[in-house]
């Protein structure tokens, strides 16, 4: 457009604006249609309807709370009983995060350009990470439960496998941004690949890697509770047993609900504080902290 005619420019702008607005209105309409029809379809395929269920939504929680209050004396004992299962759930998550962090770190280094010992294999390792990320924990857990029997080990392996994929990708993004100068310095004095990574890269990426691993730990606690529900031990398994007892034993379910809730909130807050500290500590380092 070579015209410098102000009204024409204004007109063209208005046209463009209204076109853009009608596009976004169309997008919103499609989105609304998808949401409404999706909701309607989900409602249709559900055993109970949404509108019939809505008034009853507080029935179960209120029964649960009423009975828990009535038998409040039982709660501490029941919680104590469920404590070993809770510890198991946390152990599953912790081991899975440790192994996932270890595996993810190795995979990340193998799949980061500039750091990988075999640059040609970088795409292969990336695809492997994609696959590890795409396979849901449930799938691996169920297969392993069939082979290894129920218990914490299948869950730990399943979550660790998925964590390798999830953490590997994030770790590799961090490692990509690391400065290569220390690596070059180490290379100039003849350090091997392992030494270059250990002294040149790991100190740079450690805070961010730790922060991501903590976030993963929190996610893994939830995952390990859910996997317990499908038969992999821990608090989820106890919960399934407790809720299947039904009325009259709601206190047991309530005790586990409280424990699980408290644990998730606790680790949510803990990791959030720790992550803030790590990231802030790093910022201080950038502005000239200690060596």
Decide if residue 244 touches other proteins (CB under 8 A).
no
Nearer to other proteins, 171 or 237 (CB): 237
In this structure, what are the phi and psi dihedrals at residue 177, rounded to the nearest 5 degrees?
A: -90, 0
In the chain, the N- to C-terminal Cα span, in Å, equals 58
61 near other proteins (CB under 8 A)? yes
Rounded to an integer, what distance in angstroms lies between the CA atom of residue 200 and that of residue 186?
A: 7
Nearest Cα neighbor of 137 from 232, 264, 260 is: 232
Give the residue, chosen from 5, 10, 12, 39, that forms a contact with other proteins under the rule CB under 8 A.
Answer: 39
**CB 159, CB 220: distance < 8 Å:** yes
Would you say 152 or 200 has its CB closer to other proteins? 152
- Is position 47 an interface residue for other proteins (rule: CB under 8 A)? yes
Tell me the closest approach of the beta carbon of residue 2 to other proteins, in angstroms: 26
List binders of other proteins among 96-135 (CB under 8 A). Answer: 98, 130-131, 133-135
Task: Rule CB under 8 A: choose which of 1, 4, 7, 45 binds other proteins.
Answer: 45
Task: Give the position of tokens 């249609």.
Answer: 33
| Piece of the chain touching other proteins by CB under 8 A; list 65-73, 94-102, 174-182, 208-216 | 94-102
In 3D space, the residue among 242, 238, 236 whose CA is nearest the CA of residue 221 turns out to be 236
Helix spans in 46-73 (H)? 50-53, 59-70
Helix axes 235-245, 202-227, angle to 10 degrees: 20
- Binding segment for other proteins (CB under 8 A), chosen from 27-35, 108-116, 187-195, 207-215, is 27-35
Within 136-165, the residues that bind other proteins by CB under 8 A are: 136-139, 142-143, 146-149, 151-153, 156
Q: Compose the 186-205 pattern: x for residues touching other proteins by CB under 8 A, - for all others.
A: --------------------
Do the Cβ atoms of 159 and 227 come closer than 8 Å? yes
**Using an 8 Å Cβ cutoff, are 92 and 152 in contact?**
yes
> How many Å apart are CA 61 and CA 81, to the nearest integer?
22
Span from 1-9, 47-55, 172-180, 186-194 in contact with other proteins (CB under 8 A): 47-55
Q: Please tell me the total number of residues recorded for the chain in this structure.
A: 291
- Enumerate binding residues for other proteins (CB under 8 A): 31, 34-35, 38-39, 41-43, 45-50, 53-54, 56-57, 59-61, 88, 91, 94-95, 98, 130-131, 133-139, 142-143, 146-149, 151-153, 156, 222-223, 225-227, 229-230, 236, 239, 243, 257, 260-261, 264-265, 268-269
């Amino acid at each position: 457009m070579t015209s410098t005619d102000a009204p024409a420019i204004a007109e063209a702008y208005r046209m463009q604006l209204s076109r853009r607005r009608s596009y976004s209105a169309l997008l919103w309409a499609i989105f609304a249609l998808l949401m409404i029809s999706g909701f309607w379809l989900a409602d249709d395929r559900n055993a109970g309807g949404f509108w019939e269920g809505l008034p009853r939504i507080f029935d179960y929680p209120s029964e649960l709370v009423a009975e828990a209050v009535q038998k409040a004396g039982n709660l501490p004992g029941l919680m104590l009983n469920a404590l070993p299962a809770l510890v198991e759930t946390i152990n599953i998550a912790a081991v899975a995060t440790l192994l996932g962090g270890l595996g993810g770190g190795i995979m990340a280094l193998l799949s980061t350009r500039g750091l990988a010992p075999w640059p040609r294999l970088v795409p292969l390792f990336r695809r492997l990470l994609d696959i590890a990320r795409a396979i849901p924990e449930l799938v691996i857990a169920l297969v392993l439960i069939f082979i290894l029997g129920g218990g914490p080990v299948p869950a730990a392996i399943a979550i660790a496998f998925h964590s390798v994929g999830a953490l590997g990708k994030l770790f590799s993004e961090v490692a990509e941004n690391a400065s290569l100068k220390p690596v070059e310095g180490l290379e100039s004095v003849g350090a091997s690949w392992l030494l270059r990574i250990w002294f040149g890269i790991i100190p740079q990426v450690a805070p961010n890697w730790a922060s991501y691993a903590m976030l993963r730990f929190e996610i893994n606690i939830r995952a390990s509770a859910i996997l317990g529900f499908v038969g992999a031990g821990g608090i989820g398994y106890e919960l399934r047993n407790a809720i299947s007892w039904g009325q009259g034993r709601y206190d047991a379910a309530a005790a586990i609900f409280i424990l699980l809730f408290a644990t998730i909130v606790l680790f949510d807050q803990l990791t959030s504080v720790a992550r803030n500290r790590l990231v802030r500590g790093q910022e201080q380092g950038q502005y000239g902290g200690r060596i």
